[in-house]
Amino acid sequence: MIFEEKLIESERIYEGRILNLRRDKVTTVTGSSYREIVEHNGAVAMVVLTDEGNIIMERQYRYACKRAVLEIPAGKIDKGETNPQAAAERELKEETGYTASEIIYLGGVNPSCAYSEEVIHLYLMRGLSKGEQELDDDEVIEIVEMPFDEVYDMAVRGEIADSKTLAALLMAKGRLQE
Amino acid sequence: MIFEEKLIESERIYEGRILNLRRDKVTTVTGSSYREIVEHNGAVAMVVLTDEGNIIMERQYRYACKRAVLEIPAGKIDKGETNPQAAAERELKEETGYTASEIIYLGGVNPSCAYSEEVIHLYLMRGLSKGEQELDDDEVIEIVEMPFDEVYDMAVRGEIADSKTLAALLMAKGRLQE
């Protein structure tokens, strides 16, 4: 039986654009402690495969990491949006121009279960049709089409640093081998 | 050539126990914007394998996720600590009682590259010796030894939600097949 920490009192610290922060006093086995919690509305990320076995990757500058990061297409779930798959289809269209006729749900993952409520819903998408990118004015995203197996080998060698991409590659590879 | 966002000015919002939060005004292609950035000192996580091909897993209540989470052993890098591998060895000993004679660095991953500076360093550890757990007073961690292949199959089916665990399983599996 795992001890469940319960809320005693909560302090709002920050309400922002993509995240909020609060500090909760919670019950622990020895009495009480504080948990710093990032609130985030959730996100989606997609392994998008062409008929030729290529994967659609993105390279974009990530200010928090101070470098360009190679990752799968992804995006935030809008406030009030209740259908993660609709968010995934929208983000794929905006960022890459693609729509997919086959969409398989892989699962939901917690990027930082120690301090963040964020859940990222992962999808495998195939049966692509190409349209136009519809990026926001300040989005700069380079689309990179690469053989899936090459990206997977990079992941094994520690050359892909983005954890949602790694989680989705593991699940997609397993599903493709079934 | 990827556009690199540069700092214009920075606002400290919160300095806490396991994370800080700041809001940076940065240059963008269209002018400027704000980036909310979680500062975190970094962490380590370990795929720990027995001679029998089992993996040492942990189950612990994660308040941010409101449930018990199945994950690999992990811990924070202490402030001022410059050797992630030493942190990994310490956390493994404290949380599970194990020490390892073979330690392979798998890579560093970003759990949330959109808003967090955190890097988690991943290791594969073998050649185990068993000692005593040395948990902190308020830590409640259940140790679960399971066949590696069983945990990997759970991961493929979307039954492991912790993204550092998924990233490390992908890399460890690839290394074990080499």
B157 contact A CB<8A: yes
Give the mutation candidate from A40, A156, A165 for the B interface (greatest B CB count, under 10 A). Answer: A156
Q: Do B33 and A164 touch (CB under 8 A)?
A: no
Domain residue limits, chain A: 7-39, 43-177
Report strand pairing: A120-130 vs A43-48.
Answer: parallel
| pLDDT for the residue B118 | 98
SS3 A155: helix
pLDDT of residue B18: 95
pLDDT, chain B, mean? 96
ipTM value of the model?
A: 0.96
Of B40, B138, B163, the CB nearest to A28: B138
B136 compared with B6, residue with greater pLDDT:
B6
- Residue A3: the pLDDT is 87
pLDDT along chain A (178 residues), means of 10: 91 97 96 96 98 97 96 96 96 96 98 97 97 85 96 98 98 93
Residue of B68, B108, B163 lying closest to A164 (CB–CB): B163
CATH topology of domain B43-177: Nucleoside Triphosphate Pyrophosphohydrolase (3.90.79)
With a cut of 90, say whether residue B125 has pLDDT above it. Answer: yes
Test A36 with B26 for CB contact under 8 angstroms: no
Task: Please tell me which of the candidates B24, B106, B163 has its beta carbon nearest to residue A158.
Answer: B106
- Residues with Cβ within 8 Å of B52's Cβ and at least 6 positions away in sequence, in order, are none
Residue B53: what pLDDT?
Answer: 96
Q: Given this model, what pLDDT does residue B1 score?
A: 65
Can you state the angle between helices A163-177 and B148-156, rounded to 10 degrees? 100
Interface test with B, best of A170, A175, A176 (most B CBs within 10 A): A170
pLDDT at residue A1 in the model: 65
Q: Do B114 and A62 count as a contact with CB atoms less than 8 A apart?
A: yes
Residues 90-129 of A with CB under 8 A from B: 105-120, 122
Contact B35, B7 (CB under 8 A): no
List, edge to edge, every strand of the sheet that includes B74-76. B74-76, B43-48, B120-130, B98-109
Specify whether B139 is catalytic.
yes
Give the phi and the psi of residue B148 in degrees, each rounded to 5: -55, -45
pLDDT tens digits along B46-81: 999 999 999 999 999 999 999 999 999 999 999 999
Other beta carbons less than 10 A from residue A151's beta carbon: 20
Q: What is the pTM of this model?
A: 0.96
